[in-house]
Structure 1
Amino acid sequence: MASFDDKSTLAATRARISQLDADMQKLQRVMHSLLAERKKCQQVLADYTYPILTLPSEITSEIFLYFLPPYPQRPSFWGYQSPSFLLRICRRWRDVALTTPALWSGVQLTIDPQRHVRQSRLLDMWLQRSRNCPLSIQLGYSEELMPSEDEEDEDEEGFVESLRSHAMRWQEMDISLPLDNLRKITGSMPLLRRLTIGVDRWDTETPLALFTDAPALKHVVLRSSFTPFIVALPWSQLTTLTLEGLFANEAVEMLRQTSMLQDLTVTIHNGQPPTYFSIPPLPLRSLKLHYYRPGADEYHQLFKALQLPMLQTLSVHEEFLGPNPVASLFALRPNGYPQEIQILGARTSRETYAAAFPLASLSVYVTPYVVI
């Protein structure tokens, strides 16, 4: 038989259960009330239209264009200030971005050998979104991600095909690929006006003509020790040319073919025996003539061959000027001298130059590496 204490404990427990049931019912009523209020709040948010979303699509599209770097600057493939970023905000913005071809008219992409298949597909999709817009593209490897020779053909085939299929719309291009892949990019390029080429590996002895059907091409930058004896460009129509890492005889070969050139920047390698160079007069307005390493006699031979009767701006390492820098400068333009003269690596005093060229805007630096 249960004791009196046991009966008392059981009664208290039953009473506690009843109290808990009552409290739970109260909480359930509160929970139902909160859920109902939450549903109303959600409906308010669902019914609300943000002011930015009430704008006409044309206005939103224009705002998007101001969000990106102005054309022909190239937005990055991913991340902030990429049109891809706009696709992630909301469905309406995605629809507007995908129907604004100008957003996709420029792109810069660094090829990653580990992701090249996906990158190639995305690049092709990107260019298709640009529809009929002119294109500004930068494509190449970073030094850290440079593939081996065995990997290159597989890595780049998709990229080359994407570029080639849209060549009619190229306007400004910066391409750093092995020559074997550049040779596959052929066809008419009627809009191409500015071209930068970096060739990572020379693998041919047969002269190759590139970008010959590009009547609007005027501005070319050649990087990575470009070799004119192997690759020919439409030199005669160029007005602006930058050459990086050529030997003097290679630079001369190009200059003999650039009868329309007005702006030239060239950096010369040394290592060749001095020779006589012959270059016809050029209509240059601006010349920047630099070197990688001092101590080469061919520098002066190259400078002596230049005839620039219309030159207005000159930046030159003094080593190009030979033993008599002032005389070399006068010989460069017999009918006067440039309005702006910058001398780098100077051993001759500024006073000497100032006395010889009193009307020129003159900058003289002892260091060979100051470039303005």
Structure 2
Amino acid sequence: MGRISFDDVLGTNYVPSHIERCSLKASIESIVQGLSALKHVLSPLLAKRKTLTKSIRAHTALLTPIRRVPPEPIREDFPRPRVKEVPLKLGRICRVWPDITLSTASLWCAIRIPTAWNIEGLREWISRSGSCTLSFTIQIFHENSDHLSLLASYQSRWKEVVFLFRDSQLQFAQEFLGSLAHNYENIHTLKFAYETCGRAQNNIHMVVNSAPNLRNLLL
């Protein structure tokens, strides 16, 4: 006589007979069919659950405290940007912040200028910085001449500046540095970084008549 149930031998070393194996296969097939039927029942319910969950999150977002905070305190709490940071990241936090970010000049006072960046991008970045001091890192070479000229026109606002050099561009670098005004009202840090060391470092000359706020000069 075959077993009615195998519950008492599940998880044991019990060896079913041929008849019991046939019975087990039939039971497994029945369970699989039951699961398939449940899947058809659950699928629309899970889809509805997903839709409702999405709706709950969207409605809950309207209740976030940050939405009730005026723009001014948010601007005051923004961290001071570093040269390698991009303020646009802050604008992705919520829908309210892009407008605040774009209109907060202090977030646009520092930038690491990438190679072959569109000059209009740099001009827009500087315009958003208002009257704040400017901190930047840029490589001095011919392809960046427009960017360098634009930055030179704001020389009185320079604060933390890093110039990157290549040996092959030393003459151009010297010409650019020689074209700058000799007074640096707001500069705090001035750094010259070379891709190769040696004789090149002794061939760069820069005239500075006045830099009352200069604290760091790195060669």
Offset, 1:63: 1.7
Query: Tell me, what secondary structure is at the counterpart of 1:35?
Result: helix
Q: Could you tell me which residue of structure 1 aligns to residue 84 of structure 2?
A: 77
Equivalence for 2:209: 234
Q: Aligned to 1:234, what secondary structure does the other structure show?
A: coil
In structure 2, the partner of 1:37 is 49
Structure 2 residue corresponding to 1:153, chosen from 133, 137, 142: 142
Q: Distance in 2 between matches of 1:173 and 1:138?
A: 6
Query: In the alignment, what sits opposite 1:53?
Result: 67
Return the alpha-carbon distance in structure 2 between the equivalents of residues 43 and 98 of structure 1: 29
Alignment of 1:114-193 (within 5 A): 115-118=114-117, 122-130=121-129, 132-141=130-139, 152-154=141-143, 156-167=144-155, 170-176=157-163, 178-185=173-180, 192-193=185-186
What are the ranges of 5 or more consecutive residues in structure 2 without an aligned counterpart? 1-28, 165-172, 195-200
Query: Runs of 5+ in structure 1 lacking a partner?
Result: 1-15, 70-74, 142-146, 202-223, 246-372
Are the equivalent residues in 2 in contact too, given 1:57–1:96 (CA < 8 A)? yes
8 Å contact kept, 1:171–1:194? yes
Alpha-carbon contact 1:174-1:196 (below 8 Å) kept: yes
Letter in structure 2 aligned against 1:136? L
How far off is 1:43 after superposition? 0.5
How many residues are matched?
A: 175
Paired with 1:225 and 1:26, the residues of 2 have a C-alpha distance of: 79
Contact 2:138 2:162 in 1 (8 A): yes
Q: Which digits, 9 at most, give the CA deviation of each residue in 1:199-257, with x for residues without a partner?
A: 689xxxxxxxxxxxxxxxxxxxxxx6598xx754435x859788888xxxxxxxxxxxx
One-letter amino acid of the structure 2 residue matched with residue 134 of structure 1: C
Structure 1 residues 226 and 43, CA gap change in structure 2 (3 angstroms): same
The one of 34, 40, 47 aligned to 1:28:
40
Shift of 1:195: 5.7
Letter in 2 for 1:234: N
Deviations 1:165-189 (A, max 9, x none): 4345x152435362212244459x8
> Contact 1:226 / 1:244 at 8 angstroms: preserved in 2?
no
- With over 3 angstroms needed to count, the CA separation of the structure-2 counterparts of 1:164 and 1:26, relative to structure 1, is same
Counterpart check, 1:91 vs 2:80: no
Q: In structure 1, what is the equivalent of residue 105 of structure 2?
A: 101
Q: Aligned pair in 2 of structure 1 residues 38, 103: CA closer, same or farther (>3 Å)? A: same
Task: State the SS of the aligned residue for 1:194.
Answer: coil
Taking structure 1 as reference, are residues 57 and 243 closer, same or farther at Cα in structure 2, changes over 3 Å only? closer
User: 2:188–2:213: 8 Å Cα contact kept in structure 1?
Assistant: no
Aligned-partner residue type, residue 132 of structure 2:
P
Partners of 2:39 and 2:189 in 1: CA distance: 72
Superposition pairs of residues 1-372 of structure 1, within 5 angstroms: 20=33, 24=36, 26-49=38-61, 50-64=64-78, 67-68=79-80, 75-78=82-85, 82-105=86-109, 107-109=110-112, 115-118=114-117, 122-130=121-129, 132-141=130-139, 152-154=141-143, 156-167=144-155, 170-176=157-163, 178-185=173-180, 192-194=185-187, 197=190, 232-234=207-209
TM-score, scaled to structure 2: 0.58
* Shift in CA distance, 137/33, structure 1 to aligned 2, threshold 3 Å: same
Q: Quick one: distance in 2 between partners of 1:242 and 1:94?
A: 34
Classify 1:93/1:238 alpha carbon distance in 2 versus 1 (closer, same or farther; 3 Å).
Answer: closer
Percent sequence identity over aligned pairs: 19
Pairwise CA RMSD: 4.2
